[in-house]
């Protein structure tokens, strides 16, 4: 059986499961469409949250960025995980206690203002649309390779699959579909990692293999990798560069995570407040299974890439064009070249493909001496690395089929959650609350499905021409969430005195300033292959990368909100009492007084 047929079996079987679940769990009411009827078990919700969280950026792109940038991009792991802890401790239980369907609904009611609700919807749409671009990009990459179609066709197929189960099932269908998708993606991620760790280090646990001895060189694996990449003019794998930007970027990811609306709404689906806390705990367990493996996947994949292009070591000759075209070990290159995401060119006509950093002055001198005319690996989209890794390592065909299903599960699970957040904001917060308050439940459900379909069409269009790599595009969404929704949610829960004028002014300040900073450097952001944490132009404000600007926007949000709130009327007494009741269980004051 050929590889294409095996891929079709794995991908087709997983899609059949997803669509079958969507039909079985079809939403019949707005409560089921928005919050799965608030009847999801905490363990199931934790698994669904993990799938919603571990997007194409986590599964497909993160390890690729770690592989090619090294230590600096461990900030993705630290920021995303730390942010999830913030969300679990500071936001999720209180928002569930409030008992609403959406984040803008909480903001509108807490700040007793339709304007605040509309501004929150604008922020949510900006964040979610930016985020979903990365998911659709990842889905297009996976489909294009494993179904052997071009990238655009792959994206259209992904959109069609999401349309079927997201529009049909709403949150109820998406929740149970995401449980299945988590099982698929975690198995697909860990099994190839175990195989490759055994090949390179003899250790079956990838996280431990990362710090084990490389079997061929007898040195620690990371030492071997450092030596190879520096010999080719690249930065040392374990070295850091801009620690200031790295720290800011990690903080941006942390507070951005805690403000992501598509993850927050997952905690509205459980029966009780205590279940929201348990869901968060289980989700962290499920997330850890992938995040503890990702650094090893990135480092080992980079080492395998180097071995492919320099099979005799850096001191020997590069791989020949003839070998790439005729040796079955290099079939993976031909497969990915067809997608347009990989390419090489024999610039100096010597029949060899030299892969090195041609921007390094030392390598330029070596290239002149040896007759090289530039890096001949002309295109290597980092988003393909995890998906191509099993092929590069010559793993069995069924493992390649499994990773195909896993990559698609990761992209589609998060895309569905984001699209639901967009749909809910439009149908529930705009149409039901602002435009047509008298609309029937049936009419609102129809609008929810129509807005979901519209969001899918928009995401598909934007996914065809994405800025940067999937993880970088997603990082921009985190910066926007950090600067807009996180501060207003925190102030809404923990500050009785924060009023509607302050909340509105803060959100608008965070949104406008952050967008202005991003678009000021739009040309830099959209250069393919740009590492936005390393390449810091002198004209950045205080050297702050656009990806790391979220905390600055958040700080301005807090400061403006506080200043406006202190110079305007306090919230009504009943709103202050509501805030108190969200944070403090009924009767807690009396119980404390007894002691």
Establish if 575 belongs to a structural domain. Answer: no
- Considering the domain architecture, whether residues 168 and 250 belong to the same structural domain is answered as yes
Task: Provide the pLDDT for residue 534.
Answer: 46
- Structural domain of 329: 302-388
Eight-class DSSP state of 220: B
Establish if 401 belongs to a structural domain. Answer: yes
Q: How many CB atoms within 10 Å of residue 313? A: 13
E strand or H helix that includes residue 342: strand 342-343
- Considering the domain architecture, whether residues 289 and 379 belong to the same structural domain is answered as no
Establish if 175 belongs to a structural domain. Answer: yes
**What is the total residue count of the chain?**
595
Residue ranges in the chain whose pLDDT is less than 50 = 469-470, 523-536, 586-595
* CA 243 to chain CA centroid, nearest Å: 22
**Could you give the 3-state DSSP secondary structure of residue 270?**
coil
Last residue of a domain, one of 477, 495, 517: 477
Establish if 406 belongs to a structural domain. Answer: yes
**Using CA atoms, how far apart are residues 392 and 413, in angstroms rounded to an integer?**
26
- Considering the domain architecture, whether residues 260 and 365 belong to the same structural domain is answered as no
E strand or H helix that includes residue 428: none
Task: Provide the pLDDT for residue 120.
Answer: 92
Comparing C-alpha atoms, which of 236, 248, 244 is closest to residue 299?
Answer: 236
Last residue of a domain, one of 332, 365, 388: 388
Establish if 568 belongs to a structural domain. Answer: no
- Exposed, middle or buried by CB within 10 Å (0-12, 13-18, 19+), for 2? exposed
- Considering the domain architecture, whether residues 281 and 233 belong to the same structural domain is answered as yes
- Considering the domain architecture, whether residues 278 and 314 belong to the same structural domain is answered as no
Domain count along the chain: 2
Comparing C-alpha atoms, which of 253, 286, 283, 270 is closest to residue 95?
Answer: 270
**Using CA atoms, how far apart are residues 475 and 231, in angstroms rounded to an integer?**
31
* N-term to C-term CA, the chain: 73
Tokens, residue 382: 């980092």
Last residue of a domain, one of 477, 501, 532: 477
Task: Provide the pLDDT for residue 72.
Answer: 65
Helix pair angle (243-258, 485-494), 10° resolution: 60
Task: Provide the pLDDT for residue 39.
Answer: 76
- Considering the domain architecture, whether residues 151 and 207 belong to the same structural domain is answered as yes
- Considering the domain architecture, whether residues 410 and 266 belong to the same structural domain is answered as yes
- Considering the domain architecture, whether residues 345 and 433 belong to the same structural domain is answered as no
- Considering the domain architecture, whether residues 408 and 428 belong to the same structural domain is answered as yes
- Considering the domain architecture, whether residues 317 and 466 belong to the same structural domain is answered as no
The two counts, helices (H) then strands (E), for the chain are 29, 2
Establish if 425 belongs to a structural domain. Answer: yes
Q: What CATH number has the domain bearing residue 467?
A: 1.20.1730.10
Tokens, residue 432: 């039901």
Comparing C-alpha atoms, which of 117, 79, 47, 20 is closest to residue 432?
Answer: 117
* CA 217 to chain CA centroid, nearest Å: 35
**Using CA atoms, how far apart are residues 248 and 75, in angstroms rounded to an integer?**
10
Tokens, residue 21: 């679940």
**Residue 588, C-beta contacts closer than 8 angstroms, at least 6 positions apart:** none
- Considering the domain architecture, whether residues 109 and 198 belong to the same structural domain is answered as yes
Tokens, residue 97: 């206690």
Q: How many CB atoms within 10 Å of residue 322? A: 10
């Amino acid at each position: 059986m050929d590889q294409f047929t095996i891929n079709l079996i794995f991908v087709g079987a997983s899609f059949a499961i997803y669509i079958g679940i969507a039909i079985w769990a079809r939403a019949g009411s707005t409560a089921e469409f928005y919050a799965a009827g608030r009847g999801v078990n905490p363990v199931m919700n934790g698994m669904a949250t993990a799938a919603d969280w571990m997007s194409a950026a986590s599964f497909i792109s993160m390890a690729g960025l770690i592989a090619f940038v090294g230590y600096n991009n461990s900030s993705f792991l630290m920021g995303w995980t730390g942010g999830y802890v913030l969300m679990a401790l500071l936001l999720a239980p209180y928002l569930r206690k409030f008992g609403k369907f959406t984040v803008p609904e909480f903001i509108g009611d807490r700040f007793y203002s339709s304007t605040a609700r509309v501004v929150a919807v604008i922020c949510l749409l900006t964040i979610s649309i930016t985020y979903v671009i990365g998911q659709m990009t990842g889905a297009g990459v996976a489909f294009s390779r494993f179904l052997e179609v071009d990238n655009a066709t792959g994206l259209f197929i992904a959109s069609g699959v999401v349309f079927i189960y997201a529009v049909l099932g709403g949150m109820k269908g998406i929740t149970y579909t995401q449980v299945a998708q988590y099982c698929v993606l975690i198995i697909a991620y860990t099994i190839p990692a175990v195989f490759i760790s055994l090949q390179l280090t003899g250790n079956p646990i990838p996280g431990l293999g990362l710090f084990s001895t490389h079997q061929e060189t007898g040195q620690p694996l990371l030492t071997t990798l450092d030596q190879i990449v520096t010999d080719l003019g690249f930065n040392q794998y374990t070295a850091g560069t801009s620690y200031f930007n790295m720290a800011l970027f990690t903080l941006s990811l942390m507070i951005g995570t805690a403000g992501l609306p598509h993850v927050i709404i997952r905690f509205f689906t459980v029966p009780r407040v205590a279940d929201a806390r348990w869901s968060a705990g289980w989700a962290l367990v499920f997330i850890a299974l992938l995040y503890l493996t990702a650094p090893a996947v990135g480092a080992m994949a980079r080492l395998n890439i180097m071995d492919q292009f320099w099979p005799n070591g850096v001191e020997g000759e590069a791989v020949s064009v003839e070998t790439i075209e005729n040796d079955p070990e290099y079939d993976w290159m031909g497969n990915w070249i067809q997608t347009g995401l990989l390419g090489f060119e024999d610039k100096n006509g010597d029949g060899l493909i030299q892969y090195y950093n041609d921007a390094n002055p030392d390598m330029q001198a070596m290239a002149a001496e040896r007759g090289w005319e530039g890096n001949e690996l002309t295109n290597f989209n980092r988003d393909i690395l995890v998906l191509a890794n099993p092929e590069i390592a010559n793993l069995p065909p069924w493992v390649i089929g499994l990773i195909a299903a896993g990559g698609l599960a990761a992209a589609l699970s998060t895309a569905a959650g984001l699209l639901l957040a967009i749909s809910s904001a439009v149908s529930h917060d705009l149409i039901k609350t602002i435009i047509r308050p008298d609309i029937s439940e049936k009419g609102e459900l129809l609008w929810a499905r129509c807005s979901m379909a519209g969001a899918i069409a928009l995401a598909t269009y934007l996914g065809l021409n994405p800025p940067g790599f999937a993880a970088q595009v997603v990082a921009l969404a985190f910066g926007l969430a950090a600067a807009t929704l996180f501060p207003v949610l925190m102030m809404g829960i923990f500050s009785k005195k924060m009023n509607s004028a302050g909340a509105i002014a803060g959100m608008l300040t965070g949104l406008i300033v952050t967008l202005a900073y991003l678009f000021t450097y739009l040309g830099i952001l959209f250069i393919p292959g740009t590492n936005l944490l390393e390449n810091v132009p002198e004209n950045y404000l205080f050297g702050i990368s656009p990806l790391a600007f979220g905390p600055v926007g958040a700080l301005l949000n807090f400061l403006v909100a506080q200043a406006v709130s202190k110079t305007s009327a306090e919230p009504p007494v009943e709103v202050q009492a509501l805030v108190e009741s969200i944070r403090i269980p009924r009767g807690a004051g009396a119980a404390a007084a007894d002691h």
